[in-house]
Structures are given as C-alpha cells and as structure tokens.
Structure 1
C-alpha cells in the first residue's frame, strides 16, 4: 500500500471553494481504485494550511489513476474548481508507506 499525503497552502477566504474541490477529489479517488482518508482543514493555528491523505494498493495503481489527469472530463472539471476559484495557492505531495496497527485475532 502507498499513501499520498498532499500538503496545501490555501486561501482562507475561499474555504468554501476548497471544500467543493476536496469533495470532488474524494469522490474521484474512491471511484477510481483508491481509498480517500479525508481532507484536514484549518481549525486552530495556521489558517492557510490543509492536508489530504489517500491510499492505493500500489504505486502502479496510483499511476493508473494519474493517467486520467488532464484527459478524463471529471478530473478536468475537478481541477477547474481549484484553478478558477484560486482556493489553492500551492501544493506538494509526498508518498508514504503506512505502518498500521495489527489487528488481534
């Protein structure tokens, strides 16, 4: 499993646009082979930072999902929310390998 952690710098005055953008990406990740763990929005502290976490079974599965960017109309429409609203000022992503608690049997 691989988890993508996306770090955002957002415009706090455009949080409603960011939430609309985030809801679309949660839907798209879940519809195209991933598991979205949610967006984490400012509550205390910095008002311009947000995070997203989502996982795919493998880097290859993530790459298949990424092939839709700029091509699939739903992906283009989701990016348009970000681009036209200006709700995201900057973002970067890191790939991590989760260490999860063991389940007792």
Structure 2
C-alpha cells in the first residue's frame, strides 16, 4: 500500500471553496480504486494549512488513477473548483508507506 500525503497552503478566506474541492476529490479517489482518509483542515494555530491523505494498493494503481487528470471530465471539473476559486495557493505531494497495527513488514 502507498499513501499520498498532500500538504496544502490555502486561502483562509476561501475555505468554503476548499471544502467543496476536498469533498469532490474524496469521492473521486474512492470511486477510482483508492481509499481516502480525509482532509484535515485548520482548527487552531496556523489557519492556512490543510492536509489530505489517501491510499492506493500500489504505486501502479495510483499512476492509473493519475492518468485521468486533465482527461476525465469529473477530474477536470474538480480542478476547476480549485482554479476558479483560488482556494489553493500551493501544494506539495509526497508518498508514504503506512505502518499499521496489522501491517506485515515489507
């Protein structure tokens, strides 16, 4: 399993648009072979940072999902929420291998 961690810098004044963007991507990840673990939005402290975590069975499965970007109309519409609203100022993506209670060592 591979988990994608996306760290966002968001515009706090556009949090409603970011939440719409986030809900849309949760659905897309889950519909296309992944498991979305949720978005984590500002609570206390810094008000411009958000995280998303989602997993795919393998990097190959993630790449298949990524192949839809810019092509699949649902993916394009989801990105338009971000682009039109300007709710995301910056984002960085990294990949992690989760160690869960029931995980076997790989």
**TM-score bin, normalised by smaller chain:** over 0.9
- Structure 1: tracts of 5 or more residues without a match: none
Aligned to 2:57: 57
- Which position in structure 2 is the counterpart of 1:102? 102
Q: Describe the SS at the equivalent of 2:55.
A: strand
Match of 1:80 in 2: 80
5+ long unaligned stretches in structure 2:
none
Q: Which residue of 1 aligns with 2:5?
A: 5
User: Given the alignment of the two structures, is residue 18 of structure 1 paired with residue 18 of structure 2, yes or no?
Assistant: yes
In structure 1, distance between residues paired with 2:98 and 2:43: 25
Which residue in 2 is equivalent to 1:89? 89
Partner of 1:32: 32
Paired residues, number: 103
SS for the counterpart of 2:5 is strand
User: Counterparts of 1:102 and 1:91 in 2: how far apart (Å)?
Assistant: 31
Q: CA deviation at 1:93?
A: 0.5
Partners of 1:102 and 1:93 in 2: how far apart? 26
Aligned counterparts of 1:102 and 1:72: Cα–Cα separation in 2: 35
Superposition TM-score, scaled by structure 2 size: 0.96
Q: CA deviation at 1:102?
A: 2.4
